[in-house]
Amino acid sequence: MKQRSPLTWPSVTAATSMRGFTLIELIIGVVVLAFALSLVATLIFPQALRSAEPVLQVRAANLAQAFIEEIQGKSFDENSDRSGGSLRCGETGAPACSATLGPDSETRERFDDIDDYHLLHVAQPNLQDALGNDISDDYRGFSYAIEVCYSDPQGVCSSAVTRFKRVQVTFTTAQSQDFTFAFIKGNY
């Protein structure tokens, strides 16, 4: 019967070939890793924020379209003929156009003419659609401001009462981007 040799430890020459990293090598590795991570953080991470911009632009445009359609469906003036008659405010036999812009002691649900929206400013979490439904979850961080003024047919605001009003709606996104939309409504 053959005897087994006792378990022996590796020789000194074998131990030198199994050595680990030196302290210098570890420090150089950490420095290279830190440089690579800072490069990634500088170049790639800001792109993630910019990738949301087109989505926010589309959401702002959709919200603007909804508000513009809501406002365009309103009368020109508090005294405008809403029954489809031929007289408009300011014409002979009709009431004069109001020079005062803003709500006539109405809440948004009761706005009946476009100048009621003048200086309306709402920020999240109070965003509501025309029916009073809460839309703040769909537009987190959004706010809007609406300005109405009498204008000429090209949209230049005027201090005089005219047959045109310019409505300007400005939406601010969660990333503080402003998007302004405007239209002109005539009293005809």
The percent of residues above 70 in pLDDT, for the chain, comes to 74
Report which of 146, 158, 84 is spatially closest to residue 120, judged by C-alpha positions.
Answer: 146
Residue 47 lies in a domain: no
Residue 56 lies in a domain: yes
What digits encode the pLDDT tens for the residues 146-172? Answer: 899 988 888 898 888 888 889 999 988
Residue 180 lies in a domain: yes
Residue 8 lies in a domain: no
Sign, CA dihedral 36-41-45-47, equals: negative
> What is the pTM (predicted TM-score) of this model?
0.65
| Number of compact structural domains in the chain | 1
Residue 140 lies in a domain: yes
Residue 177 lies in a domain: yes
Residue 22 lies in a domain: no
What digits encode the pLDDT tens for the residues 67-122? Answer: 888 888 888 777 776 665 556 666 666 666 667 787 877 777 788 888 888 888 87
